[in-house]
């Protein structure tokens, strides 16, 4: 049976730790969208890897998420995608069509034969960004979250490290 879960939350809400907890009992694949473009991000990535431990295998894919996910679903190992927020940022930076890429991702999720947990930031609860680029990013993030939530069987919102199930069709 397919188990697709979207874990949403704000910055430092505990969403990644919760997503890792969901897959803690089995060797899993960690599909990372973030890139270590500076020392601070490199340290964040290192801390995430340290927290996960040696049972996890990491695949780095900042752009072609749907194709990469589809390829690795055949391994039979559960997959954690962390995170959609950085993926959207990468797509925008490279001038890619976020709506098209999201449609491809949702198609893979609807047809997934395995367990996939995706992490994404909920950015729509704060102030309206001052810049056009900030507003475009916030709008993309909101639309991606909505579309992925529709494609997933389960959606969980994490606040202060506490999960709140929003949708459960498992």
Give the catalytic positions in this structure. Answer: 48
Instruction: Tell me how long the chain is.
Output: 170
H or E segment at 123? none
Q: What's the rounded Cα separation, in Å, for the pair 161 and 132? A: 32
CA distances from 126 to 12, 16, 75, 130 (A): 15, 20, 39, 12
Candidates 72, 82, 94, 151; CA nearest to 121 is: 82
| Burial class of 57 by CB neighbour count within 10 A (0 to 12, 13 to 18, 19+) | middle
Q: What's the rounded Cα separation, in Å, for the pair 102 and 125? A: 22
């Amino acid at each position: 049976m397919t188990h697709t879960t979207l874990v949403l939350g704000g910055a430092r809400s505990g969403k990644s730790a919760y997503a890792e907890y969901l897959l803690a009992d089995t060797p899993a694949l960690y599909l990372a969208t973030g890139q270590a473009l500076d020392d601070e991000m490199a340290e964040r990535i290192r801390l995430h890897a340290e927290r996960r431990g040696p049972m996890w295998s990491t695949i780095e894919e900042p752009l072609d998420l749907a194709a990469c996910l589809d390829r690795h679903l055949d391994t039979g190992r559960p997959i954690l995608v962390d995170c959609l927020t950085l993926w959207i940022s990468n797509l925008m930076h490279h001038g890619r069509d976020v709506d098209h890429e999201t449609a491809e991702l949702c198609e893979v999720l609807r047809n997934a034969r395995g367990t996939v947990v995706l992490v994404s930031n909920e950015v729509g609860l704060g102030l309206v960004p001052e810049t056009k680029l900030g507003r475009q990013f916030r709008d993309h993030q909101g639309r991606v979250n909505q579309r992925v939530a529709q494609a997933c069987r389960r959606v969980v919102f994490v606040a202060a490290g506490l999960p709140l199930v929003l949708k459960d069709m498992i």
